[in-house]
Structure 1
Amino acid sequence: MSKWQWTQLLAFEGFWLLAVAGQNTWSLLTALLLGLHFIFTPNRRADIRVLWLALLGMAVDLILTVTGVFVFDHWPLWLGLLWVGFVLTLGHSLRWLRRVSTWLLMITGALAGTGSYLAGWQLGAVSLPLGFWPSVLILAILWSVLLPMLIRLDRRLRRDA
């Protein structure tokens, strides 16, 4: 990975913690950090092009909220910002996932996607009213499909940029 990719990966990890721990209270700071990405990115045009993928992620989380899988204390603006940050990693620090087989992407999605939400649950950012194991099962199935799909869509959109 290049220096930019490592920087972007480490910045996203800090961004994730800021968004989840600070939630809506720190949303302005979180948004400013996203702005920094667009100042330093080597692929601004392509990054702007893939932003709609964040809407897909937000729609998935909205469905999970409406169906009672998630409960938030307040409408999670921070979660939308987190989706923007995440989709930006797909073409940079997580670009290597393009070379991974679909099966491995499915496993990675099931583990990492679910793990991210469980970490948010542990930090008190989200409640899981269905309980731990039903929520894990739903998230693992969902993310085993979502990650490979996002990787493919990101690649296609960036190729055309």
Structure 2
Amino acid sequence: MLPGGAKPLSPEKRKHAEYMKEYARKNAGTIAAKQKAKRASSGKPKRVKMSPAEKAAKEKIRRAKRQATASKRAKGAATRTKKANIRKGNKVRTAKVRRQKALVRAGKKAKSNAAKIKRANLKRSRTQSKQRRTNERNVKKAQSKRGRKPSSGVFSA
């Protein structure tokens, strides 16, 4: 074992490593130039001059490829769905089940609507009785201010 837990290279690999070292030393300038050129050209798409007809043909091919991929994907999805359905024993909802579920939903809705109406009615009756009491009080006050005893009737004490 070498320091750092590295294994010693096999004779062929050592030979290759030495050759590469030598190659790098000899061709340092060329390698550097190549790397520099690579960096300079990276990120810039290479423009290829094409005639309009060629361009159209390429686009046609590209479109066809895309369409083929899409159709393959769709087919795969359909197959997967089919297989999944078979696996779960085609537990597809029947019309009867659908109707039952709809009934349950409708029942829940009706119940909640009834509760809403009930609440609204209670609120209204509370408000009305409150208003009635206020009215009676105000009328009594007004009568006593004018020095009249509250007469008999709705507003009498």
Structure-2-length-normalised TM-score: 0.18
- Higher relative contact order, chain-length normalized (CA < 8 Å, sep 6+): 1
Larger radius of gyration: 2
Normalised by the size of structure 1, how large is the TM-score? Answer: 0.18
